[in-house]
Amino acid sequence: MVKKILRGYVIRSHENGTREEPVILKDPRTRHRRLGVAATAVGLLAALLTASPAAATPDPGDKPATSKEVSKSTEAQVRSAIAEGEIPGQDEIVHSANIEHVVNVPKDVLPGTNSDLAFQGKYAYAGNYDGFRIFDISNPKAPKTVAQVLCPGSQNDISVSGNLLFLSTDSSRSDSSCNSTTQPATEKSSWEGMKVFDISDKKNPKYVAAVETACGSHTHTLVPERRNVYIYVSSYSPNAAYPDCQPPHDGLSVIKVPRSAPEKAAVVGFPVLFPGDGPDGGGNPGAPTNPGVSKTTGCHDITVLPSKDLAAGACMGDGILFSIEDPERPKVIDQVQDNVNFAFWHSATFNQKANKVVFTDELGGGGAATCNAEIGPNRGADGIYDIVGKGDKRKLVFRSYFKIDRHQADTEVCVAHNGSLIPVKGKDLMVQAWYQGGVSVWDFTDSSKPKEIAYFERGPLTTDRVTTAGSWSAYYYNGYIYSNDIAKGFDVLKLNDRRTDPAKWVRMSELNVQTQPDYFD
């Protein structure tokens, strides 16, 4: 019997630096049947192994994610898998033959969790729980740091438009300044919301405005116009004890920012997306009605497609499709739930034709090892939905799930996270971050039969603890993939594959992935 093998490359350290060497790993569908057998001993994962999907928790808050010890048997199992070549070695880099690891830029003065990315011309903007960093990527092989801005406030979700940069603060702070400290949300004077910077001088960004929003701003999405920038603020988890975050919180804050006077930025509305008569609105009720599913108390992330006046919302227990023809008054067209395999609707991506949406499930809330045999291929996966019908009668119709089949060790936090389209006409191709599952490139042109075509990942960061690390966001921009690794810094990757090569000719002047462009207009 001939075993199928997986060919790729590994980065190994030597006295004279690093060298890329070919590596052969056992077939992941075979080797990973062993991985995860000791997971029941890990308290963090106990709930994940029940018959029902696990309740997700929000992304990390104001403090860095804390790692959790594993049992001695799990630690031994991970070490054994490394020794036998079943998974990459600790911190080793492996990737498919059609991806090149161009460079890694380690963290510098901002030690916090790396988060989202945005792009503009020759610049990349990297969010971090302690602030943000601006890179000059005119030479992707040698990114240069232009500025590092200290402005703590998780999770510092980031976007840019013209001369303006926007940051989300979703942790309770003493005030809106960059010198603020943590303060309980139960105090009325606490602040959470949006910050606005002027980046006319990339070397010296200036903080120009702050807008407080109900329940803060976990993420945000830009709807840019010529004179104004509208911001859809996603936030959730209200509490009767929080003066500025009262239930029901079943909509989104809309901020209007005049480009000529950003200091006048203000909330102009709070459209309700989940109307209902009960105290919790009309979204997914969660447990006990739907065990293991998050109750919908707002949206986690929204992606807009301005060229089609469409938006898709990943809203905890619900996925929604809505019209943004009037950006101040978005209107829900369809609402779907998956109470079998989805725990926490996290993010959304349209295909270029706007007849499909990919929703991600953040099973375990970004704090658990969910890419193993016990969890399986359908939980903690992407859900692919076709958009059928026309106008206000359009519906989201489920087609299939996609999940990386390179099972990870039980010490590796692995979760479906942020990604973007790779612009190739006639194809639906996407690059996606999976935390310690690495970076995956996959094809969903056939909605019912998605498949991975390339990957990049590091081996376990630790073998004795469950640790949050890996790629938070992985986006394709002007010929390269840029990944913001939570722990390791800023990675640049290059695809060399005939299926994705046409994308190299598509050039963008600005990219905020949650404001999806029409790549071919």
d(Cα 465, Cα 457) in Å, to the nearest integer?
19
**Residue 134 near residue 123 (C-beta atoms within 8 A):** yes
Q: Starting from the edge strand earliest in sequence, which strands make up the sheet with 395-402, in order?
A: 345-350, 356-361, 382-388, 395-402
Q: Is the pTM of this model over 0.85?
A: yes
Using the Cα atoms of residue 189, residue 194, residue 196 and residue 197 in order, give the sign of their dihedral. Answer: positive
Q: How many CB atoms lie within 10 A of CB 159?
A: 29
Task: Report the C-alpha dihedral over residues 217, 218, 221, 227, rounded to 10 degrees.
Answer: 20
Nearest to 266 by CA among 297, 312, 229: 229
d(Cα 10, Cα 89) in Å, to the nearest integer?
10
Alpha-helical regions (H) of 67-176: 72-83
Tens digit of each residue's pLDDT, the chain (521 residues): 222 223 344 444 333 344 444 443 444 433 343 344 333 333 333 333 333 333 333 344 445 566 788 888 888 888 988 888 889 999 999 999 999 999 999 999 999 999 999 999 999 999 999 999 999 999 999 999 999 999 999 999 999 999 999 999 999 999 999 999 999 999 999 999 999 999 999 999 999 999 999 999 999 999 999 999 999 999 999 999 999 999 999 999 999 999 999 999 999 999 999 998 666 678 999 999 999 999 999 999 999 999 999 999 999 999 999 999 999 999 999 999 999 999 999 999 999 999 999 999 999 999 999 999 999 999 999 999 999 999 999 999 999 999 999 999 999 999 999 999 999 999 999 999 999 999 999 999 999 999 999 999 999 999 999 999 999 999 999 999 999 999 999 999 999 999 999 999 999 999 999 999 999 98
